[in-house]
Amino acid sequence: MTLIEKQRQMGDEEVIKELCSANGLSYDKVCQDGTGIYSLEVFFSGYPRMVGLSFFPLLSKLIIMGQSITQIRGLEHCPVLKELWVAECQLKDISGLQNCLELQQLYLYDNNINKIANLEPLVNLEVLWLNSNCITKTEGLETLQNLKELNLADNAIERIGHTLDPNSNLQILNLSGNQISSFKELTHLASLGQLRELGLQDPQSGPNPVCLLCNYATHLLYHLPQLQRLDTHHISSKQVKDAAESTVLKKMMYYSMRVRLVRRQLAEAQARLLEQRALRLQRPRDRIHMLTCSLKMLELELSEMQASGKTARSREGAPSPLTEGSGDPSDTVTEQSRDPDQEQRLLGKADALRERLHRWNQRMEEAEVQYKRELKLATDRKEMMEHFLVLELETVGNIRLEEGSTTDTWFTSCYDLLLSRFCAWDYTKYGVTGIKIKSIIRVHNRALRLRFENKLHSLLASIDSHFFSLRNYKRGLDYLFYVPDPEHASEKNEILHILENGFQPADHYKTLGRERAVPLSNSLSGSEHLRINFIQRQSAKAGEEQHPDPLPFKHGQLILSKVFLGRSVALKEGLPVDPSHYPKAHSVRSSNYNQQSTYKTPPAAEIQCSVKGVSCSDCHLRQTQWFVFDHELVLPEYLIHFEYLSQDGAQCPLPNDGDLDPASDPAVTSSDLAQDGEVLAMEPILKARPKLLSLDEKTLLNVARANVLSQITVLNLHGNRLSKLKEISCLTALRHLTISFNELTRLDDISHLPNLESVDASFNHISSLEGLRGLPRLKLLNLAWNQLSCAREETAILRKHAPALLQLDMCHNPWDKCESVRMLVLGRLRSLTHLDGVLITEEEASSAVQIAIGSRVNQACLVANSRTDVERPRSLSLLSAAQLLTHLKPSPFHLHSDLPPSWTSKVTALNLDGQGLTRLANLDKLVNLRWASFNSNALGRVEGLENCTLLEELSLDNNCLTKLEGVSQLHRLTRLSVSGNQLTTLEASILDQLPNLHFLSAENNFIGSLHGIQRARLLFELYVGNNIISATRDIYNLKALTNLIILDLYGNPLLEKLENYRIYLVFHLPSLKALDGLAVEVSECDNAKDTFGGRLTTDMVAEKLGHSNYKKITELNMQSCSIRVVDLAPPNLFQNLESISLEHNNLTSFSGLIFLPKVKALCLNYNHIESILPRQKMPIQMSNRQMLYHKVSSSGYGQQGSNKANRDWDPRDSAEPLMSSLEVLHLSHNGITNLANLQLSRLTNLKALFLQGNDISQVDGLEGLHTLQELFLDQNRIRLLNENSFSSLESLLELHLSENRLRELTHLHPLPQLRRLFLGMNKLEELTELEKLEILPSLIELSLVGNPLARRSLHRPTVVLRLSRLQVLDGLTVTLEERTRAELLSTDTQSPAVDMTIPCLLPYISRATAVRGVSTGALLGQELLLDSPHSHTCRKQKQGRGSQAEAVMQAIRGTGSLLPNTHKIMLTYPDEENRFQSNIGPKPPHM
């Protein structure tokens, strides 16, 4: 039968004809022509089944579009098919392709396929289109490793997972129009390194819910940097990708900081719990100490009785003189009668003491159990908060959890809602009377809210919209509680899963054995009953024999959800909760839920309900259980942590945000203490023995009751005050030694005792076993209740020097990392049979040995914990790269298989956290290691990394490091973490070798200074919290870190010591974005500028000078530093400071300068000085910034101790003199208008005062300057001098009034000692004014250049004639010849005017002759010239002066050329030596 005939019989003839017709083939010749056909196409209709393909064995391309095909078949005859299209058909599954091994392109879009399957044989497939189907999972693609293009758009896919990881060659992926709502799912695409095009919201398909979330594009650009096109947009720009990466890295830094803050809060909570535990243990410890001491004394008595065979003790010989107490042995021993019952009474009392000890040990165990419970609560809370922060980071802020406080309106609403739905009646069985709300966390989940709103809108727009309109749909909304059922929980932490992904579908709850709906309740008891019952059953099974928790379910948490109940119906009795049984309902309710419970409660009259004014029966009537069929209609909004209050605390307290109050201390009843007293008072009562302070041979023989030392085998020295045991070394036969309850700190003295078998050294002060040697037979050692802390060191000593040890008691010592001490000891001392009084099991010993073996770096350790990834994983995780890589994927090596010869050179990541390592070894071959983590080990030094020069990240947290020497060769290191070690410094020499370091964490060390940190100039993040940094100058070491944006100094003494610590750091480190776990706000920056801007402090001086040895500073120059306040406190630090220059700043007063004790020269030119002391401000309205500045003391920051008195003292309150050592004061160019307001009269020792270039119009306020010798008032606005201007300046020698507006020369009579007067450039017109100068008997120099009268030809002779003692006039020496001519002119008034230009006199005058020195030379390092009295560098020349006046002034200042340069003159003061007593400046040289 031919093939055509077979097809005809099967009824496929018409279909085949249609196939041939559509492709231009003859049906009759298809058998002959079919073998040459390579491509077939069928569109839209006429081909309902895939038949007739056997005629085309060489077919390579088949296109079937728009047919009613439901199944792929017939392709077994097309083995070379490479391209197949079965699109827009009605396929229900993928099948029939198992023989198409050459298939490269497969298009099955727009069908009804619901699962990807049966594609495993198609290993050559490169293109696969399955868009517009009903697919819910990306699966079945594992073998398609050559796949380059995958289109899964318009399906119902919610999760991606790692199903696409094998498709590493995928280049084009379209997932648009699906239901992906989580950024985590998109993160899995980072494994597709070849991906170039990605579609998640294609215009033809619509967006996924995740595309509507914030930061969608940023998230993808970071995780998929290789992408060239996203959602049809080109994104190949490097700037865009760099911006995205920078944004994400900053977010990771921020959340890393916040996680550290959470961990710090846990550490603080743990510290508080430890303090509370210590308080709880204090009484039991004291009682145990007392009772144990008494018990051991009884045992000593019994041993002596048994050894002597007597019922009474008798002693011979005199007591040792080295005892404390009476010297007569008869006084120290109560003579006992030979009562045969004496020993029994002693034994009975010993048993009673042991019973009381057992009771107090129980109390200690109860306190320990309570501490562990509270610590677990705090730890669980920390882990949850960490999870929340990581979740917020991974979702790029689209899931945010906000912890509320009582100031939040929503917090109060939730608080009141929970209280209103709590009924104490439901908890009477357990003694619960109330609840305490610990915290309320608000959940902001954009994806879930969007899903909820979309679902709600779709319901309202459906055919049932008549039931709920847009106006009344809110009546269907309610807030209900959900508490997971711990017995049927599918997730490890179901609450966290719900907050992230929402509630599970109804079918999920059905699989757990519950109703097929989301179970909710409007009452707390209705939500909690499953959890309470489960915990009660678990508690009953566990028994908790010794320390049962009276309220095991005390702490709970629930989810408060917003629910749309829609059309709700009552639960029908006998009918299970299932959507099929309630077809038109959205939810089912069951009222009076608690009536079905088995709680046995008393009548309602016997208990009060927690809701005031509501009876318990009303509570029951309102309690309802709800079952919601659609999980998308339940939106989790709040997470509430609460605590049940028992009858001890019936009142419900107000909520306390973040409260972690532990349970109260177990009460020590008076009966316990009374019972102890009764036991101690039991007969017989032993009289106290004398306390031995030291030992000698006689004492040893007496105590041991021996004749010679070599016979002593047992020695009991219990209850003495021995601190040394040197004499014991000669007891070579000693076998048993008891030295409990002494004052020993070491055990060196019991070394080299070859026969010693047991030692009881409990209840001493032993802190180390170092020095213990030579105890080969020691089998029992009791070291309980001492001060041992380092278990690793102590066990190493015992292993070496006590190899036969069988029983060891080391309990109640302050061990470091006490949780691992037992396994550490067992792993090192393998001969032990008992540890801390507990028998060691074989399983425990074997486990400890395995841990000990694993504490060495060997090949097995490296193989199991190494990875070979070339690139750092792009994951929003806060783990280090080494931790993350070992967490994400297994090791590429297998220990039991043959390792390649160079496998170590391929290792790039190594994670050896928690391996118990004591040293790093066998790492020399890891030459390409880039990321390494060695946290939580016992490393004492950094070694073995010399060959790992490519290392970029190194983590060494929680070890025993004291130095960082081993990291200096890791020049490529970018991240270094050494928190939890014993570092004391950050060596500059080491940080200088790490030029690429961006991250440094050194928290929880003993670092006392930040000196050296300035060498790490590229640091972005620095964590040095919980150290001992206390000096404010350390902050200046951070100023070199210009890139620093995150700094953590929390827990250092600096925070308490430094006033306004936070804004102080914000001011000095303007680049900071976060400080101590909190973001830096803009308001803080403004506050910092207002508070510390322009403040001259000791730290600023130290930064300027490069050292902080303030007592060696004699000169201080801080010009142009924008200083507005001086705060050099305490002032005694600057006890040798003599010269200060603060020119060109913003000072308005002397501020803190008045407290400096020895300042002699002070230069404040070019400031805004208004007064020596700050002026009292009037009570006027001030701005906020002015108010803030007003609150800051002028000497606020940095003052301590007695210096506070300096800050609070206001010298304006009295007229007492100030700055008694000040001699030279420069106040030029300060805009001073009123001299009286300056209060200069209080500077009583001032000798030189410079006030040039101000706006002074009246000379006053100088009354108290009795020692003033030089006064400079040039360039002001003085018009006249009043009678009080110079009333107290009787010592003034030199007065400068040039460039003012003087017209008269009056009131100069109080200046009898004035020698030099400079009046140039004023407005003196009348020669008669010069006659007023005759009252200055000491005047020897006068300058009138630039005045109108100086332009008259007779002005010079007139002056020379009037002032007989004048030696210099206008810069020219008055010669004897000139004075003679003046006298001649005065006698002959009728003669013509004489030309005063006398050529014969000029050669005797020098242009720049140095004629005097001033006491200001030391301040500015210059001398003043005779003809340049104003040439001081602190004075600025006025501009715009006329050319003629300028020429005259140049002549005065010695800068002109009016005089030749060849001749000099020299004038001196008569008392020149006294003039320079201040020693501030150099004296003028003698000519």
Give the pLDDT confidence of 81-106 residue by residue, as tens digits. 999 999 999 999 999 999 899 999 99
Strand ranges, E, within 612-686: 624-628, 634-646
The distance of Cα 1451 from the centroid of its chain, to the nearest Å, equals: 68
| CA 960/CA 945 separation, integer angstroms | 17
Please name the residues in contact with 155: beta carbons below 8 A apart, sequence gap of 6 or more. 130, 131, 132, 133, 134, 135, 136, 177, 178
Burial 973-991 (b: 16+ CB within 10 A, else e): bbbbbbbbbebebbbeebb
Q: Is 58 helix (H, G, I), strand (E, B) or coil?
A: coil
Token duo for residue 872: 């750092």
Token duo for residue 805: 């040890």
Q: Hey, which residues does 1126 pair with through a beta bridge?
A: 1096
| CA 108/CA 484 separation, integer angstroms | 42
User: Among 737, 740, 731, 729, which Cα is nearest to 778's?
Assistant: 737
pLDDT at 609: 44
Element (H or E) spanning 1360, and its range?
Answer: helix 1355-1362
Token duo for residue 450: 């969007």
What Å distances lie between residue 1199 and 1059, 1096, 1196, 1391, 1413, CA to CA?
A: 9, 13, 6, 77, 40
Strand ranges, E, within 446-484: 477-482
Q: Hey, which residues does 105 pair with through a beta bridge?
A: 83, 127
The terminus-to-terminus CA distance of the chain in angstroms comes to 144
Token duo for residue 239: 């700037």
Task: Give me the DSSP letters along 498-554.
Answer: HHHH-PPPHHHHHHTTS-SSEEEESSHHHHHHHHHHHHHHHHHHHTTSSS--S-TT-
pLDDT at 11: 64
| CA 141/CA 1170 separation, integer angstroms | 84
Place of tokens 């179970």: 519
User: Among 544, 585, 551, 580, which Cα is nearest to 565's?
Assistant: 585
What are the residue ranges in the chain where pLDDT is below 50?
A: 1, 310-338, 545, 593-615, 649-667, 1177-1214, 1390-1487
| CA 769/CA 760 separation, integer angstroms | 14
Q: Is 381 helix (H, G, I), strand (E, B) or coil?
A: helix
> Assign residue 133 a region: left if phi > 0, alpha if psi is -120 to 50, beta otherwise?
beta
What Å distances lie between residue 447 and 18, 182, 222, 635, CA to CA?
A: 50, 8, 21, 10
The distance of Cα 1294 from the centroid of its chain, to the nearest Å, equals: 63
Q: Hey, which residues does 641 pair with through a beta bridge?
A: 439, 557
| CA 284/CA 791 separation, integer angstroms | 25
| CA 783/CA 770 separation, integer angstroms | 14
Please name the amino acid found at residue 960.
Answer: C
The full length of the chain comes to 1487
| CA 1125/CA 1128 separation, integer angstroms | 10
Count of C-beta atoms within a 10 Å radius of residue 128: 26
Count of C-beta atoms within a 10 Å radius of residue 757: 18
CB 636 within 8 Å of CB 559: yes
User: Among 1173, 1134, 1177, which Cα is nearest to 1156's?
Assistant: 1134
Task: Give me the DSSP letters along 1163-1189.
Answer: E--SS---BSSPPPPPS----HHHHHH
Please name the amino acid found at residue 204.
Answer: Q
pLDDT at 131: 94
The distance of Cα 1131 from the centroid of its chain, to the nearest Å, equals: 35
CB 558 within 8 Å of CB 527: yes
For residues 379, 380, 382, 384, the Cα torsion angle rounded to the nearest 10 degrees is: 160
- In this prediction the pTM is 0.75
CB 186 within 8 Å of CB 180: yes
Asked if omega into 1485 is within 30° of 0 (cis), the reply is no
Count of C-beta atoms within a 10 Å radius of residue 660: 19
Q: 885 burial class (0-12, 13-18, 19+ CB within 10 angstroms)?
A: buried
